[in-house]
Amino acid sequence: MGYDYLALKSLTLRWSVAGFRNQIGVGKESNICTVGDEEGNPLCLKLHRLGRVCFRNVKEKRDYHGKRHKMSWLYLSRISATREYAYMKALYDRGFPVPRPVDFNRHCVIMELVDGYSLTNVAEVGNF
């Protein structure tokens, strides 16, 4: 909770976040919330939480740690957020249909909120 506060404080000082709205999702590696910017536009805040469910699986499936034997979930979450922001920005800048990346700090990534449905609420997807 303290790490969340530090990240949110930094993001508010940079004017990336002006208000906190509600939580829209919880997964095994992140929490998703809606926030607002200075103009009142809705944005998506993703708080990375690597290692929350099974730390061993993170070590086996991710290459974040390199040769390190000891690493904290804070460190892994920060690397995960940094990479997600960098990849999303690279894709967005090249015209791929991804949410617009706004900012990141520590283990948090802020991006454009895409209006749509959660896939858990979709029973069938048609062909396009």
Domains of the chain, earliest start first? 2-118 (3.30.200.20)
Rounded-to-integer distance, Cα 126 and Cα 41, Å = 31
Q: What is the dihedral of CA 30, 34, 84, 62, to 10 degrees?
A: 0
Alpha-carbon span 115 to 40, nearest angstrom:
16
Enumerate residues 6+ apart whose C-beta is below 8 A from 84: 46, 48, 104, 109
pLDDT band at residue 5, thresholds of 50, 70 and 90? confident
Q: What is the pLDDT of residues 72-99, one digit of tens each?
A: 888 889 999 999 999 999 999 999 999 9
In the predicted model, what is the mean pLDDT of the chain?
A: 86
62 forms beta bridges with none
Which percentage of the chain shows pLDDT scores above 70?
A: 83
- pTM for the complete prediction? 0.82
Quickly state the pLDDT bin for 58 (edges 50, 70, 90).
Answer: low
